């Protein structure tokens, strides 16, 4: 008998946790079952599949390549069932469908409003759910089927296998300051001038920070004196007001906030060109709603 006919959702959740934790005792305690019972279940599963899933080690267990492959499928099933539960709830409330969007906070205010407005003109009854986070954080959820499409700054080396991306437009970074900053309003600034002030920027793993480090290398400049590490767009813009901070930011986002009178862009040319784009699952046909929203993104650019 095919072993997949006997497996349940809870079994998939257990497998995922075992791969993550690498410890039978820890997972057994989390699930409120005994370790012998969990060990027997795992042994039975391995016998059913006919492949070893974990290597027993002195300090726990290590997933084999078979377990990691099965974990990827398990995550996808779990994610799609969660998505189905959410979709059924929305349909019961009168929605005609759902659209799940993951977006980088640095891109959301610039690209999403026009795209969503265009989408809603055609699909007014579809429930749209937007989640903001870095693409590194959102990409695994996309693989699991929890999102339809991601939008943000593309740094392809950070994307897991199984995802495709398409660049929508170039978006260089720039440097921004508050309206009362000593450098605000100058017609020309130099690297020496901006490096004399304290900086606020994301952590080293953030796509914007990676682009900034590349820009500094191209300009032959040392690392700035960073006093605040933050990826919160709203917090960072608020911190610029009345401060001497310098902030690297996506050019499109900076222009958005400059039009609102919340910051000033410094006239210091950048040599590198990053790209804003969208990401979706490879080898899987987009839903009608996802395909149209992706077209809305293209038109908005």
Residue 276 has phi, psi (to 5 degrees) of -100, 135
Q: Quote the pTM value.
A: 0.68
Give 66-109 pLDDT, tens digit per residue.
888 888 878 877 777 776 777 676 666 666 688 999 999 889 99
Residue 111: its pLDDT value, please? 93
CA 51 to each of CA 6, 8, 16, 65, 66: distance values in angstroms, whole numbers, following the listed order: 17, 19, 17, 10, 7
Q: Rounded to 5 degrees, what are φ and ψ at 93?
A: -90, 0
What is the C-alpha separation between 252 and 161, in angstroms, rounded? 29
pLDDT-derived band at 286, boundaries 50, 70, 90 = low
Beta-carbon-side half-sphere exposure of residue 64 (alpha carbons within 13 Å): 8
Judge whether residue 62 has pLDDT over 60: yes
Distance CA 206, CA 106 (A): 11
Distance of CA 95 to the CA centre of its chain: 26
- For 216-265, give the secondary structure using H, E and C: HHHHCCCCCCEEEECCCHHHHHHHHCCCCCEEEEEHHHHHHHHHCCCCEE
Domain 95-170+276-300 has CATH 3.40.190.10: yes
Q: Mind listing the pLDDT tens digit for each residue in 215-274?
A: 999 999 999 999 999 988 889 999 999 999 999 999 999 999 999 999 999 999 888 778
pLDDT tens-digit map of 116-167: 999 999 999 898 999 998 888 898 888 888 899 999 988 655 677 788 899 9
The Cα 101–Cα 142 span in angstroms is: 9
User: What does the mean pLDDT of the chain come to?
Assistant: 87
- Architecture per CATH, domain 3-72, reads as Orthogonal Bundle (1.10)
What residue segments make up the domains of the chain, in order of their start?
Answer: 3-72, 95-170+276-300, 173-273
CATH number given to 173-273: 3.40.190.10
Residue 198 pLDDT exceeds 90 = yes
The angle subtended at Cα 282 by Cα 253 and Cα 280, nearest 5°, is: 25
* Domains 95-170+276-300 and 173-273 fall in the same CATH topology: yes
Please, which residues bridge with residue 101 across strands?
130, 149
């Amino acid at each position: 008998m095919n072993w997949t006919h006997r497996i349940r959702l809870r079994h998939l959740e257990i497998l995922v946790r075992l791969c993550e934790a690498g410890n039978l005792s820890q997972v057994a305690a989390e699930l409120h079952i005994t370790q012998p019972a969990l060990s027997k279940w795992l042994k039975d599963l391995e016998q059913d599949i006919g492949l070893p899933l974990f290597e027993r080690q002195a300090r726990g267990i290590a997933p084999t390549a078979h377990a990691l492959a099965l974990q990827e499928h398990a995550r996808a099933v779990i994610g799609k069932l969660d998505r189905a539960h959410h979709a059924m709830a929305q349909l019961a409330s009168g929605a005609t469908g759902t659209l799940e969007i993951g977006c980088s906070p640095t891109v959301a205010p610039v690209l999403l409003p026009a795209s969503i407005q265009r989408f809603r003109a055609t699909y007014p009854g579809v429930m749209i759910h937007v989640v903001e986070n870095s693409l590194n954080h959102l990409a695994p959820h996309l693989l699991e089927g929890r999102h339809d499409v991601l939008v943000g700054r593309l740094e392809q080396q950070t994307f897991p296998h199984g995802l495709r991306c398409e660049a929508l437009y170039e978006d260089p970074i720039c440097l921004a300051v508050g309206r009362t900053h000593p450098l605000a309003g100058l017609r020309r600034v130099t690297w020496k001038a901006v490096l004399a002030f304290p900086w606020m920027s994301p952590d080293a793993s953030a796509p914007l920070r990676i682009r900034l480090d590349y820009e500094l290398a191209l300009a032959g400049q040392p690392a700035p004196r960073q006093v605040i590490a933050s990826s919160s767009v709203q917090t960072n813009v608020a911190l610029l007001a009345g401060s001497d901070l310098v902030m690297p930011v996506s050019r499109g986002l900076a222009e958005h906030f400059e039009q609102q009178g919340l910051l000033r862009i410094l006239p210091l040319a950048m040599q590198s060109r990053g790209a804003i784009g969208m990401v979706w699952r490879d080898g899987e046909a987009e839903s009608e709603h996802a395909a149209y929203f992706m077209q809305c993104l293209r038109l908005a650019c």
